[in-house]
Every structure is written in structure tokens, then in C-alpha cells.
Copies of this chain bind each other. A is one copy, B any other.
Amino acid sequence: MAKSAGEAKATLKPPGNQPKTARGEATRKAILSAAERVIGAKGYNDASIGHITSEAGVAQGTFYIYFSTKEQVFSELVLEMGRLVRHTIAEATQGVEDRLEAEKAGLTAFLEFVCAHPDLYRIVQEALFVDPHAYRVYYQTFAAGYQAGLEAAQEAGQISKGDAETRAWALMGIGRTLGEQLVVFKSDKPISEIVASGHDLIVNGIKP
């Protein structure tokens, strides 16, 4: 019942137009992927529709067959980034019983991900201005999952007691900034070293 209504008037969003053919599907993907590269490289404002479509190898008007607005393609990228990151980390920590080990695996996976997708990484930051809602969703979803994980680990006695919400944000911040050091500031330090130092900090702190 709730489902049938959603089709006619799109309870949540009018997504431009969804392709109905394999050809359309391919074109839409081409545009989306071009947008990722172009926006990631030049930023939202300097990335014109013309740039994006020419990178995708289609005419300018084609863009508006699949996206109703420039902002929409951006939002979609942010959403996709969120799903990808969470999926990547979930996969990497799958089956790791010890939380401290899971932290290490998660941090490693995250840093590898941002190295593989430097564009997407920058895009999320710009969302704070271009699409604040997407930005909030991105971080709040991530933080909520993180917090739940920490709380479970506390119950299990795998980590010390503490304010899981603040911890979640703080740990997220560590990953974020270390990722930025890699991608934005182009550090050549190997990921394994960064993870080792970062993880030691997370586990033991800095007290003598």
C-alpha cells in the first residue's frame, strides 16, 4: 500500500528521469561518472554542465534527460559516496570479533578507499554548502552506525566505558583528517604506518 503510492508522485524525490532502456541506463551512468571526475577535480561551481557532458561524450541537452538540475547530480554523488564508504567499511570489519581489531581494519579500509576515490572525498566536503542536507545525512548516518558499534563493544567489555556518541565523532574525525592528509596534502607515508600510529592513539591514548 505504502509502496504503490510512491510510484505516482514520488514521495521522496523526482529524480529527473529514470532511464527505461539499456542505452539510457548506460548514458546516465556515463554522465554520473563524468560528473564525479569533473566536479571532484574542479569543484561544483567551476564544473559546468558543458564540461560534464563533453567529458561524458554526449550533448549538453542530454544531461537534462536524466537529471533535472545540476544540484541533483551532485546530491546523487554524495549519496553514492555514503553508501560506498559504509559498505566498504562494513565489509572490511565483517567477522572481526575484537573491536580493537575492527577499528584497525576499518581505518585501513577507509584510508584505502579515499586513496582510490579522491574525487568523491572532496565532493563530500563541498556538500556542506551545495547540499547541506546530503552532508548531514552522510555524517549522521555514519556516526550513528559507529556509535552503535562502540556501545555494543562496551557492553561486551572489549573497550572501556565512555560517551559513545562523542567517541564516535572523535574517531570519525581521526579517519577523516588522516584521509585528508593522504589525499589533499598528498602525504607519501604508507597507509600501514599511518594506521599503526593512528590505531595506537585510538587504543592507548598519549599518556606516558
Is the pair A198, B129 in contact by a Cβ cutoff of 8 Å?
A: no
Q: Which of A155-177 contact B (CB under 8 A)?
A: 157-160, 162-163, 165-167, 169-177
Least CB distance from A134 to B in Å reads 13
Task: Tell me which residues from 129 to 148 in chain A have a Cβ below 8 Å from any Cβ of chain B.
Answer: 129-130, 135-136, 139-140
A87 at the interface (CB under 8 A from B): no
Chain B residue with the shortest CB-CB distance to A173: B177
How many residues from A make CB contacts under 8 Å with B? Answer: 53
Q: How far is the CA of A169 from the CA of B201 in the complex (A)?
A: 11
> How far, in angstroms, from A181 to B169 measured CA to CA in the complex?
8
User: So how many copies of this chain end up in the complex?
Assistant: 2
Of chain B, the residue at the smallest CB distance from A156 is B208
- The segment out of A6-14, A56-64, A77-85, A189-197 that lies at the interface is A189-197
B204 in contact with A159 (CB, 8 Å) = no
Specify which chain B residues have a CB less than 8 angstroms from the CB of A103 in the assembled complex: 206
Check if A118 is an interface residue, CB within 8 A of chain B: no
Given known contacts A128-B122, A204-B207, A205-B202, is B178 in contact with A166 (CB within 8 Å)?
A: yes
Residues in A lying within 8 Å of B, measured CB to CB: 43-45, 100, 103, 122, 125-126, 128-130, 135-136, 139-140, 150, 157-160, 162-163, 165-167, 169-178, 180-181, 184-185, 189, 193-194, 197-198, 200-208
